Amino acid sequence: MITRRLKLPSPGEETFFLWGPRQTGKSTLLRILYPDAFWIDLLKAEEFRLYLTNPELLREQLPHSTPPPFVVIDEVQKLPHLLDEVHWLHENRGIQFALCGSSARKVRRGHANLLGGRAVRYELFGLVSAELGEDFDLGRLLNHGYLPRIYLADRPARLLNAYVADYLKEEIAAEGLVRKLPVFSDFLAMASLSDTETVNFSTIARDCGVSSQTIKGYFQILEDTLLGRWLPSFRRRPKRRVAAAPKFYFSDIGVVNFLSKRGTLYQGTPMFGKAFENWCFHELTAWNLYSEAYAELYYWRLASGTEVDFIVNDMNLAIEAKATARISSRHIKGLRQLQIDHPEVKRRIIVCLEERPRLTDDNIEILPARLFARKLWNGELF
């Protein structure tokens, strides 16, 4: 059994939202942590219909007990108006809720407005190295992805196909997020090619036959449904012109592989390198939220193309991801240029596939991927 690193409050301690992409294990985690909770599953057709027409039934069904019941509402984004009842019950009867969903889009646009800030927000990611422990297999993660069921499967392609189909059916079509589903499906394939890159909206728009504004809206849907997120450019006190556009990262590399038809990824290929960078971002982002570090993440790139993949906070840490078993001077060029432009940078690291850690003459740390992950989750990098 895999123990997840996200720490949720004790039952009845607070009301919170638990967001996360589909199939990251949100419902499983909640059932393990809160076995005695009053459970409402809006994926069940009969429960969805019941609360769709009579949301006030929630008030009537919950017992007047001491202490009050702890309530889990799964797939809460399907009925955002139910949050009015949640709000009233929280304020007037002291009932605490765990509100679980894969998209805050409809909730945020609804009149309930995420309970006016009364609920804490948590987010569950796919599997991270610290959850796998000694079973951590980088090659498997980069090929299968981070979603628990698919990572553990022997034949991930079938499950990834079903995952994308369910995403289009349940998240996009059912919620009415786009008018033309085939166009959005084509967009997904085009967008997957931009993973770990800055996005050229015009090129994708031309390939999909829609406007650039429509493509920007589609990327917003990916962000709202937690299928991806942006990494902004570091632009503080630049000595010369730097990149301004953010980079985009999908939340699961298995989905990227499937959409872009990469096939099996092998070490030494460019696609393996892009997947390796996605994994580093996945680990950093999950660590940042799980540990409540509230670190700011950026990338840094000069107009000339010289780049460092990740900057943490105001130059506290710079990280370059290189999926190679032998780091040479060309791999270090970005970190060395960064120190010239930003001598205040405190620590520079290259995450790679070398077997042993080492330190260059100018104090750049070369860390094997497994060691980097262990130091990250042990809190040794900051």
- Tens of pLDDT, residue by residue over 172-197, are 887 677 888 899 999 999 999 999 99
Give the separation between CA 36 and CA 370, rounded to whole angstroms.
Answer: 38
Kindly list the domain boundaries of the chain, sorted by start residue: 16-123, 134-377
**Omega before 67 cis (within 30°)?**
yes
Which of residues 236 and 378 earns the better pLDDT score?
378
What the block records as the tokens of 227 is: 């299928």
Which stretch of DSSP H or E encloses residue 352?
A: strand 348-352
pLDDT at residue 250 tops 80: yes
| Strand runs labelled E in 8-105 | 16-19, 38-41, 70-74, 96-101
Residue carrying the six token digits 């540990």: 291
Residue with tokens 């892009």: 274
Q: Which helix (H) or strand (E) holds 250?
A: strand 247-250
User: Which tens digit of pLDDT belongs to each residue from 195-230?
Assistant: 999 999 999 999 999 999 999 999 999 999 999 999
Rounded CA-CA distance 286/289 in Å is: 5
- Tell the CATH topology of 16-123: Rossmann fold (3.40.50)
Mean pLDDT of the chain: 92
Helix and strand element counts for the chain (H, E): 16, 14
Taking the CB of residue 292, how many other CB atoms lie within 10 A of it? 9
Burial (Cβ within 10 Å: 0-12, 13-18, ≥19) of residue 333: middle
Encode pLDDT of 94-120 as tens digits.
999 999 998 877 666 654 556 666 789
pLDDT at 55 over 80: yes
Rounded to the nearest angstrom, the gap between the alpha carbon of residue 60 and the centroid of all alpha carbons in its chain is 37
pLDDT in tens, 317-338: 999 999 999 999 999 999 999 9
